[in-house]
Every structure is written in C-alpha cells, then in structure tokens.
Amino acid sequence: MIEFLLAGVPLLLLVLAIVQLSLLWAGKSAVDTAAHLAGRKFARVAREDFRKAREMAFLEAFQVCRNRPGGSFGSAAMTVLDVTKDGGRGADRADAGEALCVRLTHGVELVVPWIDRILFALSPGKKIRLAGHYYLMLQSTRWVTVE
C-alpha cells in the first residue's frame, strides 16, 4: 500500500504537468494565430489611417485571444499590441511597401493546481501573479508589409 502512495503522487504530478503543458501549447498557438491575423488586418489599412489600423489589429487580436480555448475577458485584458519600424522604435505612420513589426503579448493563465506554481517559478519569461492566479505572458512577432 505504501508503494502505491509513493508511486501515485509523482504519477499524478506528471499527468497534471502534461495537461498544463498541453493547455499552454494551445495558448501559444492561439497567440501566434492572433498575431498573424492582427498583422494582416494592420497591413491592409495602415497606409490610409495608421491609428485606425492599429485599433483594428488590436481588436482582431483581442477577439482571437478571448475566444481561444481557456480564454476569458480577464486574460484577454492582458493583451498588448506594439507596432514598430525596426523592432525597437515606435511607429506613427506607414508608407506603401514599408515593413513593420507587429508584436503581440498575451497573458495565458496557468490553471492546473500545483503545477501552476511550479511552472510559474521555473518560467524565465515575463509572468504576472494577480489575486492568486498565475499568468505567463506569451509573445508572438510578425513582420508585415504595408499594402
């Protein structure tokens, strides 16, 4: 009986870790998809109205991140969209044929008990803890050419 308990705890933690990593992988895929769709939306409208293009791209990314599996208004509120010319400086206008960097950062909640604390402590990237909830800030970058 003792052997079962000694072997059961690590196996339970392993199964929980697999579930959390699967959810994290799905969240990263959703962030990549949101960045791609936001970049496309931005590239289409940026030449006419840069500010409107940035707002439309953010709205597109916000909707994709909110509607992803496990997404919510709380995690979608931690969505940031940056548009830069060379990956470092901010941009305020765009000409046709110009390449711009669209960087999306989105908070994905770690929801599996016990494993959330372990992954939060081990993660080297940006992370946030709000009211007992653990979030990893996942980033995705796309270079787009203004049409």
Q: Is 138 helix (H, G, I), strand (E, B) or coil?
A: strand
Asked whether the whole model's pTM tops 0.75, one would answer yes
- Exposed/middle/buried for 91, CB within 10 Å: 0-12, 13-18, 19+? middle
**Considering only CA atoms, which of 58, 31, 33 is closest in space to residue 46?**
58
What are the pLDDT tens digits along the chain (147 aa)? 788 788 888 999 999 999 999 999 998 999 999 999 999 999 998 888 889 999 999 999 998 888 887 777 777 778 899 998 876 666 777 788 888 999 999 998 898 988 999 999 999 989 999 888 899 999 999 999 988
Q: Domain limits of the chain?
A: 2-145
Characterize 35-47 residue by residue with b for buried, 16 or more Cβ atoms within 10 angstroms of its Cβ, and e for exposed. Answer: bbbbbebbbebbb
